[in-house]
Amino acid sequence: MISLLLSGLVAFSQPTPTNSLRLAMTPKLDGVLDAEEWDPLVSPEPFNGYLQWEPGVLYAAGTVEHGKEARLSFDFKGDGWTVGSDNLEVTVTQEGVRVRRLIQDVQEGARWQDEPLIAQSTVAKRGDTDTGWNFELQWRGLGDLSFEKGKKFNVRMESFDQNGAEVMAFVPRQTVPVELALDRAQGLPEGMSWAPEHVVRTVVPGQRIKLRLTFVNKGEDGLGRVDLRTLGFASLFTSSRQQPFPTLDKKKRAFLDYEAIVSKDAPLGYTRLAAKIEKPNGDVATIESSYEISDLLTILPNLRVEKGQTGTPRIIRGDISLRSNTTGRLNGKMFFDLPEGWALRRGNDADFKIYRERGRVKMAVELVSPQGLSGLQAIPVRVQLGDKAITSTTYLVFD
């Protein structure tokens, strides 16, 4: 017993990540870790772990050796692994995903509780490598567990022998703090600060977006060339350029503008601008700022299941915001593509008009579910803009 505990404690040290700020980036879930697709978090060879997000979704990935599985530990209040009931362990194997919660029981002590609903809210893709396998994980937030800008929590990522000894629930784990962000900087010269001053962060394929980086430099002069480009999959569909670092004004400010021309074939999702600045000593400072290549319209559901008895028909109420991402007027209809047995009282086959540039409308919704539903249920929403269909799916828990 003592040897098991000691081995667990030794295994649970965790290197500090290079940067605790996790950027919004949308990966392509196919089991292949492409260049610039993922944001590295830890790299205790031979395991490499990655973590990023987009509104409502957390993404994780890793490279695992043959005969091992990936284990991700999340302390969502950041108050210690053995404190509270906010600690979740996500295990990814080549067969599937398991999620369990650490429960502190006054009578029985610490124990594990399986969380099948949270496991259902994940999607994992796997791919083989020469020495093992990759995984790419999508985790949609449910209820109080949301993934939004500014959210802070602690995490650890590692691999274990697939048939190794069970780790006892009460063994402490060292986790590291992270924060979900849209912007970050690394290696700025002493005395320099910066801030994003973007008017918008969304752009439709075939249109342009202007992103502004504002600097205040009270330190050393002599900054050299700046390389500006979009990273990842979108790099092939957006413009890039090089220029000297802009001249400071009387207030020691400099304004760096990146105007991206986005191809009509650009992939949708969050990507990031990288500005690499040559410092006087030859080193490079890096600014990164997330933006979204989006469809003409974004569907933002805000629905809740009203209280009722398990298994009986339940009322779903709320609203759906439709946000325009373009400069033109949008006319369309909203639909719910639900199976037979649902009653659509309000919001289905509903007309809407968005007149203002990047405006939005809010559509009231009321649905009634069939009886017998339990667990996680998908609510698909479709918006028709003429012949163009835009879809989104929200997930609700029926208890």
pLDDT tens column, 58-85: 999 999 999 999 999 999 999 999 888 8
Strands (E) in 115-199, as ranges, are 122-128, 132-140, 152-161, 176-181, 183-186, 192-196
Determine the longest span between alpha carbons in the chain, in angstroms: 70
- Cα 191 to chain centroid, rounded: 32
pLDDT tens column, 281-327: 999 999 999 999 999 999 999 999 999 988 899 999 999 999 999 99
Domains of the chain in start order, with CATH, are 2-181 (2.60.40), 183-293 (2.60.40.2550), 297-398 (2.60.40.2310)
b/e sequence 345-364, b meaning 16+ C-beta within 10 Å: eebbebebebeeeeeebebe
Percent over 70 (pLDDT), the chain: 95
Nearest to 296 by CA among 320, 317, 322, 334: 322
Check pLDDT > 50 for residue 10.
no
Indicate the pLDDT class of residue 6, thresholds 50, 70 and 90: very low
Cα(14)–Cα(158) distance, integer angstroms: 8
Whole-prediction pTM: 0.93
